[in-house]
Amino acid sequence: MENVLRPLIVIGGSLVVTLLVGWLVDLLLRRADQRHHQVPLWGLLRRCRLPLQFVMCAALLRGSYDQAKLTKEHSAGVGQLLTLVLIGSTAWLLVRIATAIVESSYSRYAHAHRDPARVRRVRTQVALIQRVVSAIVGVVAVAAMLLTFPAMRAAGASLLASAGILGIVAGVAAQSTLANMFAGFQIAFGDMVRLGDTVVVNGEWGTVDEITLTFLTVRTWDERRFTMPVSYFTSQPFENWSRGGVQMTGTVFFHLDHSAPVEEMRDKLRDILRECPAWDGRDYGLAVTDSTPSTMEVRALVTAKDADDVWTVRVTVREQMLRWLTVHHPYALPRVNTADAILPPGSAPHTNGAEPHRPRASSRGRAVEPPRTGRG
């Protein structure tokens, strides 16, 4: 009877204590979250309930398994397995706690500061710190698991002796990976590019969607994703439209006839911008910036609070201005001259005594060939 009750008491007691402690901890964290709802840490720590229960259960079973006397011939293997589970669950718990602390700190910082640029910078740094902590905890946990095996402990001295050589070989073999890792730290703490920044890379306009220690993802306006090594942003030039502020100035170019009413276009531009919600009201302008023998270039200048809004303002101005010119001032649109060329003095056309052929001008100013008869 004792051989049956002892294992039941040991295993059942460990499970009951684990579930009870997990429930009590979750109850306390829930009440703390309700009392201090402005502090998100308590709610985030509730995610640690499952790894905490694994740690407690593995620790209780590891400490009392010898008292259960289930399988004496496999006690060493079972103890080794419980030790590995205890190390892995402890690493899992540490990662969850570190993640909760980091996310809580970022959330409080984001609520306390209204500057989007500073918030994105802290968010980038927090994300990379979280990944670094997870990687360090994982490496330490794997090393601790390996050291639980007697063969690995015996080989520890030789491994330490050859660590220098292995480090050099690994550094040469993983040169690009290490370069990307250091570039990731440089981006995070050098404030070069942040999550949510609007950038132009290789002629593609997009938003920084993800930053890791080795790669960076840019989401374009048409929902494509460019994944690039972070070392690119430390060695190649790129445009960061969010650097130093997110306010933007955009331009719209029109190629018009020389008779275009520039003053009336300025008034129309003002009316269009007043009805456009994306315009921030800071500035606008319209000026003739270039001229050719047949057309002139008119530039409209508009402002907006960010890159998305400046795009909306530009397309709105271009569309409504062209529609207005077409309806009210069609003569201002570019035209193709079809008048006969004036020959220089003393020159005669090669007509063999016949009257030179001249195309007739249509009502729209285009040359129209006279009707021909027969096959010739």
CATH number, domain with residue 262? 3.30.70.100
Tell me if 121 is assigned to some domain.
Answer: no
Task: List pLDDT tens digits, range 54-108.
Answer: 888 888 877 776 665 556 666 677 777 888 888 888 888 888 888 888 787 777 7
| Site of tokens 């590995």 | 84
**What is each CA distance from 23 to 16, 28, 56, in whole angstroms?**
11, 9, 13
Taking the model in full, what pTM does it have? 0.45
Tell me if 120 is assigned to some domain.
Answer: no
What is the total residue count of the chain? 376
Tell me if 88 is assigned to some domain.
Answer: yes
Half-sphere exposure of 182 (CA within 13 A, CB side): 7
Tell me if 356 is assigned to some domain.
Answer: no
**In this model, does residue 190 exceed pLDDT 80?**
no
Among 93, 112, 131, residue at a domain's last position? 112
Tell me if 355 is assigned to some domain.
Answer: no
Tell me if 101 is assigned to some domain.
Answer: yes
Task: List pLDDT tens digits, range 201-224.
Answer: 877 888 888 877 677 888 887 888
Domain enclosing residue 73, as ranges: 2-112
Diameter over CA atoms, the chain: 134
Tell me if 6 is assigned to some domain.
Answer: yes
Task: List pLDDT tens digits, range 314-350.
Answer: 999 999 999 999 999 998 888 776 666 567 777 655 5
Tell me if 343 is assigned to some domain.
Answer: no
Show the beta-strand stretches assigned E in the chain: 198-201, 204-211, 215-220, 225-229, 239-240, 248-256, 279-291, 296-304, 360-361, 367-368
Query: From CA 189, how far away is CA 208, in angstroms rounded?
Result: 16
**In this model, does residue 362 exceed pLDDT 90?**
no
Among 112, 130, 146, residue at a domain's last position? 112
pLDDT recorded at residue 154: 58
Residue 21 CB partners (closer than 8 Å, separation 6+) = 52, 53, 56
Structural domain total, the chain = 2
Strand 239-240 with 225-229, pairing: unpaired
In this prediction, residue 363 has a pLDDT band, given cuts at 50, 70 and 90, of very low
**Minimal CA–CA distance to 322: which of 365, 275, 272, 364?**
272
Query: From CA 344, how far away is CA 358, in angstroms rounded?
Result: 17
Query: From CA 25, how far away is CA 18, in angstroms rounded?
Result: 11
